[in-house]
Each structure stands twice: as structure tokens, then as C-alpha cells.
Amino acid sequence: MDKLLALISEIGEDDDDDTVIRLGSVTASGSGLELRLEVSTFNLETNTRNLEIRCEDVQEYAIKNEAASSLILTSNHPLLWRFTHDSASAFFYGVPPNAYAATGALYEAHRHAVDDWFGLESQLNGGMELSKLLSTGNGLLAQGPLPLLTVYKNVLSQYSVEVEIRNPYPPGGRMSPPHVKNRLWNETKALLIGDSYITGIGWTAQ
């Protein structure tokens, strides 16, 4: 971990460098992934190095074959919320005066909270369109990590709709033993390579 953090720090230490990160390969091994990256910096001269980064226990990932300009390892990111926060179900009560306005506000608040890393639809009750669902007056709104459900609750309170967050459960599920929950909370990190990402535990690099 220390070596990986040092390598990432070196890549970003000179703001004047024009850094390009290209993905060479992604190899799966058991529950892990190994990435081979080519990092080039262009300033007064070109400097290229190869990195091998491995995650021993991958939770989820999305790899795009696009050149990136940034490489970040973080323990604080919306992609990690379902591993580092309790999740729950959010039920709503009340009909907003303008269901379309409330729908638009939810989409805007969601994007402000998580940028473009994942869409609102991935959290919603997908039984019907959101505006139609809100017009029914009550029902399951969404399921997801508590920070995100709290965002939805605060938005809909401005449209005369009450949201009740019920049945919270920790990362790993209700039946997971304490050591599994603690490991997810404390050790899960996200590696961000431009718009690509990997979340998991046990990071090494060379």
C-alpha cells in the first residue's frame, strides 16, 4: 500500500506535467485483478514508466479503454458508500405539487452527490417512471447507502413529501460476521483511473 501511494504521489507531484495513463492489460486471478499501466509525462522531455497494480479482493469495477490523465487511490468516494456505510430502504408518503419538478430535483441532487459515477436509476424502485411513482402518493422510493437516501429525503421534503428510511443493514449483509463488516468499513478503497475504477481490498504495486 505504501509503495502504491508513493507511486501515485510521484505521478501527481508536478502540476506542470502533462500526464497520460494508458491501460495495457487487465488480468483476473481468483477474486483479484492485476492491471498493467503505462504512465507518460510530457514536460521538457518525455518520461515513461510501467506500473503493475494489483487488488487482491475486488468488489466491483468498470474499465474503459480510454487514456486518462489522473490516477487516484481513495477511501472517501461515493463508489465506496455501499461498502463503508449502512444501506437501507426509503419509503415516501405524500404527493408533490409538481411531480416533474420533484423528479428533476432528485436527478440534480443525485448527480451533485455522486457526479457521473452511477445513475439515479440504479438506486430507484424500477417499477414505474419516477414522476408516476411520486404521483401515487406512497411506496418504495429507493434502496441504497444511507448518505444517498438522506440526500433524497432532504430533496423531497422541499416538495411536501415525507421519506422514511427503514431497515438499515451493514455492508456485507445482515448476516455477515463483525470481522467482515469491519474489514469492509476500514479497508475498502477505490482506484480511479480517469473514468475507470476498481473498488476492493488489498492493494499492492510495483
How does pLDDT run across 176-197, given as a tens digit for each residue?
Answer: 777 777 777 788 999 999 899 9
Residue 175 lies in a domain: no
Residue 181 lies in a domain: no
Higher local confidence (pLDDT), 73 or 10: 73
Give the end-to-end CA distance of the chain in Å, rounded to a whole number. Answer: 10
How does pLDDT run across 68-126, given as a tens digit for each residue?
Answer: 888 889 999 999 999 999 999 999 999 999 999 999 999 999 999 999 999 999 999 88
How many residues are given for the chain? Answer: 206
Name the residue range of residue 155's domain.
Answer: 89-169
**Using CA atoms in the order 11, 15, 20, 21, what is the torsion angle rounded to 10 degrees?**
30
Number of domains in the chain: 2
Higher local confidence (pLDDT), 62 or 178: 62
Is the confidence at residue 14, as pLDDT, over 60? Answer: no
Is the confidence at residue 44, as pLDDT, over 60? Answer: no
Residues 57 and 11 in one domain: yes
Residues 94 and 73 in one domain: no
